[in-house]
Structure 1
Amino acid sequence: MATKTIAILSDSEGLAPEFFEVLGSSNHRLLFVVGNAETKEHLQKSLNFLKLKAEIDFIGCEKDGCWEADKILISMQAPPSKDMIKKVKEVATQKPVWVISPVDSHGRKVDLQQQLPNSRVVEISIQENLKEVSLSSKEVVAKQEIRQLFEVSGYTVN
């Protein structure tokens, strides 16, 4: 089976080490979308520390990275910018988009399904200490795919 590529759009604060350990132990190619050298260097150090088995690459453009990917992961502390959402939306039609749930400046969860209506969005909430994950989506197949990744890694999925 061909290796699937996951484009990862993450700020350095949004890195969820537990999630990357789950992805890194799978048969995926992880394509990190990084706009500047400092962030790339920080990510490389973090990923080296995790000792992931997956193939890891870097690319500088959100649109190109998401175009190349089979799946997209958005993992950020703050909500993605309108510019980033626009670039992702242009190339993510019918692709699974996994979102580690960001909140806005008022502490409200951001609804990316509304902003990416033609993508198969799955919201992910991770309780690291308990090895529990909650998934929220209307997309049954996309939700099942991410469920399997976590369950194989020993997580309880709600």
Structure 2
Amino acid sequence: MSNKKTFAVINVSELKSLFLAKQIAKANPVLLFDHNPSTLLEVYTQVLLENPEAKVEMMICPTNASWEADIIILSNYAATDITLAEKIKKVATGKIILVLGNEKNNMRSENTDNKLEQLFPFSKVIHSIEVPEDFTSSFFLKGKDADALKTILTLYTNIGFKTNILI
């Protein structure tokens, strides 16, 4: 990714969110949000310990984090939290929303995909789906916006993930 984008990572208490926040912070500004203040502080501290030069901020409001970000990352819980979605919906207009799914919550269902598309009709929703054979580093990306898919594919490739786009 040639120009730096600001990422909001919502619900950083999940391992995939934490890992992405750490990786993204190596090259881009990251805004962290979690409902649990002690978790938020712990993650913030971890990111800075691993990368003292990281441009990372703790955010106490998901709306402010999303408003300031170019790309919003939602983990399983955050992606299915209707109240949270309503809070960030207006400030997510025109932005990429990366939804992190996993096998436990089965975020791959068509109902969930459609629900998120309806919740964020003016955003570019991209679903990140773990490859069942390799949960740690292989993902499928699914979404309707080609440029957004390319942006997330580039991000994942730069981090070292094996990634393919589902059509």
TM-score (norm 2): 0.76
Paired position in structure 2 for 1:22: 23
What is the Cα deviation at residue 108 of structure 1? Answer: 5.5
- Report the counterpart of residue 10 of structure 1 in structure 2: 11
Q: CA RMSD in A?
A: 2.9
CA 1:135 to 1:53, structure 2 compared with 1: closer, same or farther past 3 Å? farther
**Secondary structure, aligned partner of 2:126:** strand
Q: Aligned match of 2:137 in 123, 131, 142?
A: 131
Cα offset, 1:20, TM superposition: 3.1
Return the structure number with greater relative CO, CA threshold 8 A, min gap 6.
1
With the length of structure 1 as denominator, give the TM-score of the two structures. Answer: 0.80
Partner of 1:73: 73
Q: State the Cα distance separating 1:21 from its structure 2 match.
A: 4.1
Secondary structure at the counterpart of residue 40 of structure 1: helix
* Shift in CA distance, 87/103, structure 1 to aligned 2, threshold 3 Å: farther
Distance 1:76 1:108, change over 3 A: closer
Q: Distance in 2 between matches of 1:153 and 1:108?
A: 22
SS in 2 for 1:131: strand
Task: Using the TM superposition, give the Cα deviation of residue 70 of structure 1 relative to its aligned residue in structure 2, in angstroms.
Answer: 1.2
> Which secondary structure state, in structure 1, belongs to the residue aligned with residue 89 of structure 2?
helix
Match 2:150 to one of 132, 144, 152 = 144
Aligned residues: 156
Distance 1:50 1:141, change over 3 A: same
1:12 alignment partner, SS class: coil
Residue ranges of structure 1 left out of the alignment (5+ in a row): none
Structure 2: tracts of 5 or more residues without a match:
none
* Alpha-carbon distance, 1:123 to partner: 0.6
Match of 1:80, as an amino acid?
Answer: T
2:126 pairs with one of 122, 125, 131: 122
Letter aligned with residue 129 of structure 2: S
> Percent of aligned pairs with the same residue?
24
- SS of the aligned residue for 2:93 comes to coil
Change (3 A) 1:129 1:116: closer
State how far apart, in whole Å, the 2-side matches of 1:100 and 1:53 are. Answer: 26
